[in-house]
A and B are shown apart, each in its own frame.
Chain A
Amino acid sequence: MSIEALPAEIAEPAPGARRRPGTVRLLLGNWSVVIGAGIVLVLALIGALAPVLGTTDPSEINPVFRNKKPGAERTIRTDDGKEVTFVHRFGTDTLGRDVYSRVVYGARVSLIIGVTVAALSVAIGLAIGLVAGYIRWLDGIIMRLMDGLMAIPAILLAMGVVSLSRAGLVAVVIAIVIPEIPRVVRLVRAIVLSIREEPYVEAAITVGTPTPTLLVRHVLPNTVAPLIVQGTFICASAILIEAILSFLGIGIPPETPTWGNIMAEGRSLFRIFPHNIFYPGVFLAVAVLAINMLGDGLRDTLDPRFAKRV
C-alpha cells in the first residue's frame, strides 16, 4: 500500500499530539552521548588502524636509542642503502621502544578489555540475577554470596584473583569481571522483583507460560536498557582497573603494550622523562572520560527511571 492511498488526516499526525521521538533521535539529541560515542569511535579507529598510523613494532627494542625525548629523530639505513628518518613523536622508553607506537597499540588492549569485561559481567550477572529474582529459595544464598563479594573492595578482589594464576590477558579479564558481577546481579534482581508484580506477568503466569519463556519474553526485555547503561560504566571502570593492575606490575605482562604497562615502565625515570607517563595517561583519561560521558548520556535517555541515581 502506498502512502498516497492513505487519507491525509491519518498520514499526518494531529497537530497537538506530538509523536514520541525514536530512540536513535533521542540519543543523537543528547550531546553527552554524541561526544562520548564520537571519542570512543575515534579511539577504536586508532586501535584498529594502528599498523598504518606511522607506528613501528611496539615491542621492538632498540638499546642504542633509549630514553629519547619526544620528537627525537632516528635515521634507519635499510638493506638497499637508502636512509629513512623515523620520528619518535612521543619519545622512546628505557628499552628504546617507540612510545607513540606503544600508546597507539595500547588503545587496542584497553578497548578490548573494556568491552570484554562489560559483556562478560553483564551476561553472567544477568543469568545469576534472573535466577535470584525468580527462584525464591536460591535468592537468599545468592544474595548473601554477592554481599560478601561486595564487601571486598574491587581492586583488592581483582588483585587477589590475579595472584592466583600466572599474569595474562585472561587472568586479568577474570579478575576484573568477578568484582563487577554482584553489581549487575543486584540491578537485575531488583528489576525482576518489580516486574514480576506487573499485571502482564501475572497474566502470562495465569495462561500457563513456562518459567523460562516467561523470563525471556517478559522479564528480559525490561533489563536491556539498564544493562546497556550499567555495561557502559563497567567498560570504563574495567579500563581503569586494567591500567591500575598493569601499572602496579601485576596485570598484563610488561612486553604487551597497554597504557598501564607504558606508565609502569616510565616510573623509574619519571623525573627526567615524564612523557612516558603523561602520553598514555592522557589517552587513558580521555578514553575513560568519553565512556563515562556516553554512559551518563545513555542513562538519561534510555533509562530515565534510574537517571536520578548517582
Chain B
Amino acid sequence: MFSYVLRRLAATIPVMIIVAVLVFLMLRLTPSDPAAIIAGDNANAEQVAEIRKRLGLDQPILTQFIIWSAKTLHGDLGESFFFKKQVADLILDRLEPTLSLAFFTIVLAVLIAIPLGVLAAYRHGGWLDRIVMGFSVLGFSVPVFVIGYLLIYVFAIELNWLPVQGYQRLSQGIGGWLERLILPSVTLSVIYVALIARITRTSVLEVMNEDYIRTARAKGQTEGRVLTRHALANAAVPIVTVIGLGVALLIGGVVVTESVYTIPGLGRLTVDAVLARDYPTIQAVILLFSLAYVLINLLVDVTYTFFDPRIRY
C-alpha cells in the first residue's frame, strides 16, 4: 500500500513537469517583454536591460527554465508585475477564502447529491428519478454566474436573508464568515451536485441487480441498510472517481463564483492577473491549481482500497 502511494506519487511528477514546461513556455511566448512591463513607461533602455539581467531573461531558455523550476520548488514564485508583491505572499493571502469556499461546496454537494442519486436509483423511473435526471442536465447547462445572480436576487435582494456579496475572514468571527459563504457555496455546488447525483444513480442502479442485494433483502435487512451498506458501498469507486475529476469543474467554478460574489480569493486573483497581463501570477496560480487537481486525484486513487478492499496494490 505504502509503496503504491509512493509509485503513484512518482507518476505524477512527469505530469507536473509537463505542466511546468507548458506554463513556463506560456510566459516566454508572450509578445510583450516582461522586463519592459516591470520597468514601467518612464524607464530608459539601460534600466530595462538591468531588470532583464536581474530576472535572468538574458540567459538561454533552458537555463532560464532550470533556474525558474528551482526557484518555484523553493517557493519563490517571483514578483507580481501588477501587485508589486511576492507572488507567494499574494497567494497565501488569498488562500483562505478559496479553501473555505471549496470545502463548503464539496461537503454540501456530497451531502445533497449522494442521497439524491441513491434514491433516484431506488425509485428508478419514478418522479424523483425524473427530477434528479432533469436537474442534472439543467445543472450542466445553466452557467454558474446565472445561478449566482439568481440566488443573490432571490435570497439577498428580494428576501434580504443573506448578505449580497463580499467575504469576511474567519478570524473576524465565525458567524459572518459562514453567512457570506452560504450563497457562493450553494451556487458553486449546483454543477457538482448534478455531476455526482448522476454518477451515483448510474452506479447504484448497476449494482441493484446483483445477487448480494437479493441476498441482503432475503436475510431481512431493512431497505435503508440494503441501500447504504450493500448498494452504495459497492457503487462507491466510480462515485469517488467522479468527485475527484469534478475538481476541475470546481476550480473553473471558483474563478467565476468569486467574481460574482466579490470574494478576494485565488479565483479573483486569477481574473485580475489575466486582466493586468501579470504573467508571474498567472503562471503561479495555474501551476498551483493544477497541482491541487493532480494531488486530489492521487488521493482518490488511494481511497479505492478503502472503498473496495478487493483492490490491492
Which of A's residues lie within 8 Å of B, judged by CB? 144-145, 147-149, 151-157, 159-165, 236, 240, 243-244, 247-250, 263, 270-271, 274, 277-278, 281, 284-285, 288-289, 292-293, 296, 308, 310
Q: Is B140 touching A247 in the complex (CB atoms < 8 A)?
A: no
Q: Is A277 touching B149 in the complex (CB atoms < 8 A)?
A: yes
Q: Which chain B residues (125-143) contact chain A, with CB distance < 8 Å?
A: 137-138, 140-143
Q: Which chain B residues (1-38) contact chain A, with CB distance < 8 Å?
A: 14-19, 21-23, 26, 29-31
A125 shortest CB reach to chain B, Å: 17
B278 shortest CB reach to chain A, Å: 9
Q: Is B31 touching A236 in the complex (CB atoms < 8 A)?
A: no
CA A296 to CA B119, docked complex, whole Å: 23
Query: For B22, what are the chain A residues with a Cβ–Cβ distance below 8 Å?
Result: 148-149, 152
Q: Is B252 touching A285 in the complex (CB atoms < 8 A)?
A: no
Say which one of B44-52, B177-185, B208-216, B284-292 lies at the interface with A. B284-292
Which of the residues A149, A156, A277, A289 comes within 8 Å of B251, measured between beta carbons? A156
Query: For B294, what are the chain A residues with a Cβ–Cβ distance below 8 Å?
Result: 151
Query: For B140, what are the chain A residues with a Cβ–Cβ distance below 8 Å?
Result: 288, 292
Closest residue to B260 on the A side, CB-wise? A267
Which of the residues B29, B141, B199 comes within 8 Å of A164, measured between beta carbons? B29
The verdict on B207 contacting chain A, using a C-beta distance below 8 Å, is no
Query: For B146, what are the chain A residues with a Cβ–Cβ distance below 8 Å?
Result: 263, 277-278, 281, 284-285
CA A27 to CA B231, docked complex, whole Å: 34
Q: Is A289 touching B202 in the complex (CB atoms < 8 A)?
A: no
* 25 residue pairs from A and B, CB less than 8 Å apart: A147-B14, A148-B17, A148-B19, A152-B19, A153-B289, A155-B252, A156-B289, A159-B271, A160-B26, A163-B277, A244-B143, A247-B143, A249-B271, A270-B149, A271-B157, A274-B149, A277-B149, A278-B146, A278-B149, A281-B145, A284-B146, A289-B141, A308-B202, A310-B198, A310-B242
Q: Is B15 touching A147 in the complex (CB atoms < 8 A)?
A: yes
Which of the residues A156, A248, A277, A289 comes within 8 Å of B286, measured between beta carbons? A156
Q: Which chain B residues (263-313) contact chain A, with CB distance < 8 Å?
A: 270-271, 273-275, 277, 279, 282, 285-286, 289-290, 293-294
B72 shortest CB reach to chain A, Å: 15
Q: Is B137 touching A296 in the complex (CB atoms < 8 A)?
A: yes
CA A151 to CA B290, docked complex, whole Å: 6
Query: For A281, what are the chain B residues with a Cβ–Cβ distance below 8 Å?
Result: 142-143, 145-146, 149-150
Classify the interface of chain B: helix, strand, loop or mixed.
helix
A294 shortest CB reach to chain B, Å: 11
Q: Is A152 touching B255 in the complex (CB atoms < 8 A)?
A: no
Q: Is B242 touching A154 in the complex (CB atoms < 8 A)?
A: no
The verdict on B121 contacting chain A, using a C-beta distance below 8 Å, is no
The verdict on B152 contacting chain A, using a C-beta distance below 8 Å, is yes
The verdict on B256 contacting chain A, using a C-beta distance below 8 Å, is yes
The verdict on B164 contacting chain A, using a C-beta distance below 8 Å, is yes
The verdict on B161 contacting chain A, using a C-beta distance below 8 Å, is no
Which of the residues A157, A160, A244, A296 comes within 8 Å of B256, measured between beta carbons? A244
The verdict on B110 contacting chain A, using a C-beta distance below 8 Å, is no
Query: For A271, what are the chain B residues with a Cβ–Cβ distance below 8 Å?
Result: 157, 164
Q: Is A284 touching B164 in the complex (CB atoms < 8 A)?
A: no
CA A108 to CA B137, docked complex, whole Å: 24
* Extra A-B contacts (7), CB below 8 Å, given A160-B286, A278-B149: A155-B252, A164-B26, A263-B145, A263-B146, A277-B146, A285-B146, A289-B138
A130 shortest CB reach to chain B, Å: 22
Which of the residues A149, A250, A274, A293 comes within 8 Å of B271, measured between beta carbons? A250
CA A250 to CA B277, docked complex, whole Å: 10
Q: Is B251 touching A153 in the complex (CB atoms < 8 A)?
A: yes
Q: Is A243 touching B15 in the complex (CB atoms < 8 A)?
A: no
A91 shortest CB reach to chain B, Å: 15
Q: Is A247 touching B145 in the complex (CB atoms < 8 A)?
A: yes
Query: For A153, what are the chain B residues with a Cβ–Cβ distance below 8 Å?
Result: 247-249, 251-252, 289-290, 293
Which of the residues A165, A240, A244, A310 comes within 8 Å of B202, measured between beta carbons? A310
Whether A274 contacts B251 in the complex (CB less than 8 A), given A147-B15, A156-B286, comes out as no
The verdict on B259 contacting chain A, using a C-beta distance below 8 Å, is yes
Interface centre among A155, A243, A247, A274 (most CB of B within 10 A): A155
Query: For A240, what are the chain B residues with a Cβ–Cβ distance below 8 Å?
Result: 141, 143
B74 shortest CB reach to chain A, Å: 22
Q: Is A288 touching B141 in the complex (CB atoms < 8 A)?
A: yes
Whether A236 contacts B141 in the complex (CB less than 8 A), given A147-B18, A152-B286, A162-B274, comes out as yes
Query: For B248, what are the chain A residues with a Cβ–Cβ distance below 8 Å?
Result: 153-154
A226 shortest CB reach to chain B, Å: 19
Whether A274 contacts B31 in the complex (CB less than 8 A), given A163-B274, A284-B146, A310-B242, comes out as no
